[in-house]
């Protein structure tokens, strides 16, 4: 019941947010906000479709961007054809075509990759991803080489008479398709296919004994996830009107993995959370810092070791305690974690930034400025402060975490009783 309200609230925010920053004097939308929100929508689709593999079927794929990218490239060609009146399809249905392109390619590659699982699957998909990324740079007809392919999204064919000339119209198209894709992916988890995907993930042999062919289950799951990724890629092409090989290269595949995993692969909504968080970080922190990938990487590794169920998993773990009405007793332990965590973060971020300003920043001729005053990265003091903060924070956090763990175990045991 509660999650229903949460979903409605999220949709309401997604629809209303652009108007909260509307510039009434110039009758203009905030371009940056619209672009971040549009990006978030595509990334939600990408992360969720990736989780159909990683979370639901236990397949660690490294070529997911391939299907996203192919959806984008196909969309560009569809739009160009539609612009020449060769493809009488309204704009609103275009992403479906992009999805079908993703599906087609996923069927082809899935037939090869899903014969294997675990490590071999990961490596085959890595090879497929590299194959497509290299091919995209080489063949100019379909992929346009390094420059990519461009299009014009104003094809003058819409169910609602829209021109899609402004970002806000495209944004609402993205919202609509994101909702459709998310709903479809959710219903897929309820079908026998979704259940069998979970079964082949958890116990391969037993799934075979029941009489299902795990390879077939994996294959269908792989193909369908390619379909949804293709939809995301189509929306990407509509938004930016240009698709380059960035849309199918390895960094985007890695991004899909990071978003899904950090958000939480065990809960359906986890990747949504991860996509929102990472996209916001990407558009916010990457402007401020050269080294935001370090932060994401460390966060990712920390998650793998300490919280394999991701952020959504951590939130979900509070469920039983919350239902027992004992959440209040965690307030104080949480508050005690705040100061050492901040110290640890300050030290870590400080060291990383000092280091990167010493090399990359110097090459770009930038200066580290904190609270309005420039900091000399060659002086000893900032390094000492950051190191001390890091070490003290780490030791203190370790001590506090042990105490927190005791209280947590105690509460969990109480709730279970």
Q: Does 313 bind another protein (CB under 8 A)?
A: no
Binding mask 96-115 for another protein (x = CB under 8 A): ----------------x--x
Residue 329: alpha-carbon gap to chain centroid:
33
Q: Measured from the CB of residue 368, what is the shortest distance to another protein in angstroms? A: 13
- Dist CA 154 CA 7 (whole Å): 32
Nearer to another protein, 178 or 253 (CB): 253
Q: Within 223-282, which residues bind another protein (CB under 8 A)?
A: 250, 254, 257, 261
Cα three-residue angle 146-152-156, rounded to 5 degrees? 160
Cα three-residue angle 373-375-377, rounded to 5 degrees? 170
* Interacting residues of 326 by C-beta distance below 8 A, sequence separation 6+: 411, 414, 415
Among 12, 13, 138, 210, binds another protein (CB under 8 A): 138
Among 52, 65, 128, 229, binds another protein (CB under 8 A): 128
Among 359, 395, 403, 409, binds another protein (CB under 8 A): 359
Q: Does 8 bind another protein (CB under 8 A)?
A: no
Q: Does 116 bind another protein (CB under 8 A)?
A: yes
DSSP characters over 261-286: HHH-SSSTTHHHHHHHHHHHHHHHHH
Backbone angles phi, psi at 197, to 5 degrees: -60, -45
Among 212, 300, 383, 408, binds another protein (CB under 8 A): 300
Nearer to another protein, 227 or 357 (CB): 357
- Dist CA 369 CA 349 (whole Å): 14
* Cβ–Cβ < 8 Å for 253, 63: yes
Nearest Cα to Cα of residue 275 among 64, 39, 60 = 39
Q: Measured from the CB of residue 84, what is the shortest distance to another protein in angstroms? A: 17
Cα three-residue angle 409-412-417, rounded to 5 degrees? 125
* Cβ–Cβ < 8 Å for 60, 52: no
Pairing of strands 373-374, 149-150: unpaired
Q: Within 160-219, which residues bind another protein (CB under 8 A)?
A: none
- Dist CA 410 CA 415 (whole Å): 9
Cα three-residue angle 47-48-54, rounded to 5 degrees? 85
Of 158-166, 176-184, 231-239, 287-295, the segment contacting another protein by CB under 8 A is 287-295
Q: Measured from the CB of residue 397, what is the shortest distance to another protein in angstroms? A: 17
Among 8, 12, 135, 216, binds another protein (CB under 8 A): 135
Q: Does 317 bind another protein (CB under 8 A)?
A: no
Q: Residues binding another protein: what is the number (CB under 8 A)? A: 48
Q: Measured from the CB of residue 188, what is the shortest distance to another protein in angstroms? A: 21
- Residues lying near another protein in the complex (CB under 8 A) are found at 54, 58, 60, 112, 115-120, 122-124, 126-128, 130-131, 134-135, 138-142, 250, 254, 257, 261, 291, 293-294, 296-298, 300-301, 304-305, 308, 352, 355-356, 358-360, 362-363
């Amino acid at each position: 019941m509660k999650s229903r309200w949460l979903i409605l609230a999220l949709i309401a925010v997604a629809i209303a947010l652009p108007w909260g920053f509307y510039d009434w004097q110039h009758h203009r939308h905030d371009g940056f906000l619209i672009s971040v929100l549009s990006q978030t929508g595509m990334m939600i689709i990408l992360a969720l479709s990736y989780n159909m593999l990683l979370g639901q079927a236990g397949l660690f794929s490294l070529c997911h961007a391939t299907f996203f990218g192919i959806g984008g490239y196909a969309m560009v060609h569809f739009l160009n054809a539609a612009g020449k009146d060769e493809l009488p399809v309204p704009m609103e249905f275009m992403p479906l075509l992009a999805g079908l392109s993703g599906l087609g390619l996923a069927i082809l590659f899935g037939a090869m990759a899903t014969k294997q699982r675990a490590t071999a699957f990961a490596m085959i998909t890595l090879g497929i991803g590299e194959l497509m990324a290299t091919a995209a740079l080489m063949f100019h007809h379909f992929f346009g080489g390094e420059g990519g392919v461009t299009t014009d999204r104003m094809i003058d064919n819409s169910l609602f008479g829209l021109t899609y000339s402004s970002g806000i119209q495209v944004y609402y198209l993205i919202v609509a398709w994101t909702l459709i894709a998310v709903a479809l992916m959710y219903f897929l988890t309820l079908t026998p296919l979704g259940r069998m995907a979970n079964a082949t993930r958890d116990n391969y042999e037993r799934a075979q004994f029941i009489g299902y062919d795990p390879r077939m289950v994996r294959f269908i799951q792989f193909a369908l996830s390619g379909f949804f990724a293709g939809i995301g890629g189509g929306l990407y092409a509509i938004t930016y009107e240009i698709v380059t090989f960035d849309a199918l290269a390895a960094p985007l595949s890695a991004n899909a993995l990071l978003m899904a995993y950090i958000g939480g692969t065990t809960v359906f909504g986890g990747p949504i959370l991860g996509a929102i968080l990472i996209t916001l970080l990407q558009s916010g922190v990457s402007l401020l810092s050269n080294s935001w990938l370090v932060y994401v990487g460390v966060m990712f590794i920390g998650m793998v070791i300490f919280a394999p169920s991701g952020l959504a998993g951590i939130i979900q773990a509070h469920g039983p305690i919350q239902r027992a009405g004992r959440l209040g007793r965690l307030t104080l332990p949480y508050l005690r974690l705040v100061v050492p965590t901040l110290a640890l973060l300050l030290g870590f971020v400080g060291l990383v930034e000092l280091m990167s300003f010493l090399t990359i920043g110097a090459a770009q001729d930038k200066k580290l400025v904190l609270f309005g005053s420039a900091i000399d990265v060659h002086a000893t003091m900032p390094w000492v402060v950051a190191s001390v903060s890091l070490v003290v924070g780490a030791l203190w956090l370790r001590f506090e975490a042990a105490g927190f763990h005791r209280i947590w175990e105690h509460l969990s045991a109480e709730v279970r009783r």
